[in-house]
Structure formats: structure tokens, C-alpha cells
Amino acid sequence: MYSGHFESIEKINENYFIECIRETSKNSVYAIFKDSDGGLIYMFFYKGGSTFIKSHCAYVLNSLCEDDFKNIKVGTDINEVKEIDEPIRKQFEFVLDFFELYGYFPSTQSQLTFLLKDGIIAIGYEKNSNGGYQVSKIEFSDNFIQTRKYSNGRTLDFYYSIDFYYSILPQDYPE
């Protein structure tokens, strides 16, 4: 569902059937899509002029909590993380296969973010000395906000930050 350019909610609805839209504030909404496995895709939008523009997405098949990640620490092999839930395994395998296929290796800021019932969890990863991948950082946010910092690509001193809001209504989680 990512095309590399700004996509309006109207354009996305032309290509995918939006099953439900929830307003979270005057400036943000999220849309819900159901996939063939019964999981839910949450696509978050922010107000851009007269329309809503796609910001970020989350996928949930099984409702997880922070406690499901209690054994994951910095240095944990990524294979242990992938065992927590099938969608988590698929997301890591997709990203890591892409890295291997194109010879790209994750930076120290590479991470995947997962929506949980009690917050969000961001898991950073890096190559380890065995050629596999390990957890480089793990951050839990119980306010469902992830702040991402971006540099200008040449130095790390110049950056701007964007807050990504992952909060959804309790009734919108899979059962």
C-alpha cells in the first residue's frame, strides 16, 4: 500500500475498499481494512489542506500487549522476536529479505513498529557478528505516539521530528 508519494484518502479509497473511518481529532483520522487472513490494516491520515494524506500504517492479526515482548532485550536474536506472532515474522522476513536481495544493510535507526493493545513497540535491529540480525533497541510507548527524527542525510545535527499517532478505539482491535 506504499507508493512513495503522498496519497489522499480519496485516492486510496479508489484502489482499496475502506471499511471504516474513525476521526481521532480535527486533523487526523484512521481507516480500517480487513485482509483475507482476518487481520486488520490501520492506515493513519493527517489533514493536508482540504484533504487527508496517508501518514503511516499498522497491521494487527492478534491483539498483543507489552507483556508479550517481556523476554526481548537488546542483543536478542531476531528469530526470537519473529516467534511472537505470525504478522511480526512476516514483516521482519519481508524487510530483511529486501535488505539481502539488494545488498542494503540496516542502519542503526532501522526499526519496525507494532501496534499493541496497551501501546506501541518499536524494535530496532542490526546485523550481528554471525551474519544474522539482532535487536539493537526496543522502545515501548503507552501513549501510542512515536517520535521519529530525520537528518538531512549528510550530518546528524540537522534534523526535524514528526510525531506518529497510533491510537485507535478499543472496539477496533481484532477479537
pLDDT digits (tens, 9 = 90+) for 24-59: 888 899 999 888 888 888 999 998 888 888 888 999
Same domain assignment for residues 80 and 130? yes
- pLDDT for the residue 2: 41
In a domain, 173, yes or no: no
**pLDDT tens-place string over residues 56-115:** 899 999 999 999 999 999 999 999 999 999 888 888 888 888 777 777 665 555 788 999
Q: What is the pLDDT of residue 164?
A: 87
Give a yes or no: residue 78 inside a domain: yes
- Are 83 and 134 in the same domain? yes
Question: Does the pLDDT at position 4 exceed 60?
Answer: no
pLDDT value for 60: 92
Q: Are residues 71 and 113 in the same domain?
A: yes
What pLDDT, on a 0 to 100 scale, did the predictor assign at position 16?
79
Residue 124 half-sphere exposure toward CB, CA atoms < 13 A = 13
The band of 1, judged by pLDDT with boundaries at 50, 70 and 90, is very low
pTM beyond cutoff 0.85: no
Residues 73 and 37 placed together within one structural domain of the fold: no
Q: If you average pLDDT over residues 134-141, what whole number do you get?
A: 93
Domain check: are 44 and 86 in the same one? no
Mean pLDDT, residues 131-154 taken together: 84
- 74 and 19 in a common domain: no
Whose grid coordinates read 539488494?
102
Q: Identify whether residues 57 and 71 lie together within a single domain.
A: no
Same-domain check for residues 78 and 17: no
pLDDT of residue 105: 63
Whether residue 141 is predicted with pLDDT greater than 80 in this model: the reply is yes
Average pLDDT over residues 122-141: 90
Show the domain range for 136.
66-142
Whether residue 172 lies inside any domain: the answer is no
Binned at pLDDT 50, 70 and 90, residue 135 comes out as very high
User: What pLDDT does residue 102 have?
Assistant: 73
Domain tally, the chain: 2
* 71 and 28 in a common domain: no
Does residue 132 share a domain with residue 107? yes
